Amino acid sequence: MEQGKISSAQLACLFFMAALSTSMLTGPSFIFTLADRDMWLSAVLSPLIGMPLIFIIIFLHKLFPGQTIMQYNRTLLGKSVGTLLSLLFLFNLLILNGIQTRQFFDFMSQNYFAKTPGILFAASMTLIGAIAIRCGVEIICRIAMLLTPLIILIVFAIILPLTKEIDLGRLLPIMENGFVPVAKGTIALQTWFSMYAYMSFFLPFVSNPKRLFHWGSMAALWTAATFLSAFVYIVGVLGEAVSNYMYPLMILSRYVEIFEFIEHLDSLLMLFWVLDVFLRTCMTYFAVTAGFAQLFGTINMRAIVMPVGLLILCFSFWSIPNLTAFRSMTSIYTIYYIAINMAYPCLLLAIAKLRGFRPPPSSPDEQTLSMNGANAPS
């Protein structure tokens, strides 16, 4: 059985890095099509929706210490309905794993290794993720905390040299088309904030649950600040041309020059992409594996790591034919993710309140320690 312990800070780093990966590369062009130059306002407003989800997930964990959403949903909804919705939730997770794997190998093939089969990148990332999961949740979160400063340093190395090219006038006029585009952009950004619902699979392992609200808030604010800085930077440099590129940050990295002899930092962007997608893969891969283990009562979670990995590989090809098709369906996926990852926990909280569930009298720390991982995924 999984016996690892993690801190609230490590968990915050893992989820912040998971949101950072695709948001920096694919997010700007998508949000720009909705909010235009006001996309930075969408970033400012995004935590107003995303942060309550974190509080809901943490509060549900306080109501049912040591359990994940796969376990307490059957307490609230009954075994049949709870199992059905659990399958829907896990299917959503499999699609997410498949799409992000597809984004990873398509980006690598299109921009760096045109002659390398995409399946090689997909299989390599899935295999490395499987090894990390078999090592345990504690290793995953420690790696996340170790890589966070390095990844942030890489982002700064790409962004800072071009700050002199930023023209804030390209952000004006503010809300030229009213508030509706800003609202659309804010809602679309919840595609990344909705991933915080998967914190439920990690909360039983947190050794200092009293700090969860603090570090959960910090992770949400870091995510919003990343959106804001990236959007101001990209629109400030490229202006209306943002919509012409699928990876605006990739285009800008090719024009970066440091000390007049270090140029073309797109290779540095590749390093950022590989490291960050690895952390995101570990997070979502662990969540879906733990979910299946809890749903079917598997004694040893590690026994199903490889079969789930094969499913992820299959979904990376089945979920979307290519990234161009995915971009045209992004609005549908956004609504789907929000409905599953955000509306579902809200429904569970409402039912828990209506049925009169309250946090147990003992402290969350004592509850978590007393469980000793008994209800955590094996």
**Three-class HEC string of 349-360:** HHHHHHCCCCCC
Find the farthest-apart pair of alpha carbons in the chain and give their distance in angstroms, rounded: 66
Query: How far is it, in rounded angstroms, from Cα 352 to Cα 41?
Result: 35
Q: Please state the pTM of the whole predicted model.
A: 0.88
Query: How far is it, in rounded angstroms, from Cα 326 to Cα 332?
Result: 10
Query: How far is it, in rounded angstroms, from Cα 265 to Cα 154?
Result: 10
pLDDT per residue as tens, the chain (378 positions): 456 789 999 999 999 999 887 788 888 888 998 999 999 999 999 998 889 999 999 999 999 998 999 999 999 998 899 899 999 999 989 988 988 898 888 888 888 888 888 889 999 999 999 999 999 999 999 999 999 888 888 888 888 877 888 888 888 888 988 999 999 999 999 989 999 999 999 999 999 888 999 999 999 999 999 899 889 999 999 888 888 888 888 888 777 766 566 666 777 888 888 888 999 999 999 999 999 998 888 667 888 999 999 999 998 888 777 666 666 777 777 888 888 888 899 999 999 999 888 888 754 444 443 344 334 433
Bond prior to 173 in cis (omega within 30° of 0): yes
- 39's enclosing H/E stretch is helix 39-45
Query: How far is it, in rounded angstroms, from Cα 323 to Cα 106?
Result: 7
CATH number of 8-371: 1.20.1740.10
Q: What is the sign of the dihedral through the CA atoms of 249, 252, 258 and 261?
A: positive
Q: Is 36 left (phi over 0), alpha (psi -120 to 50) or beta?
A: left
Cβ–Cβ < 8 Å for 190, 19: no
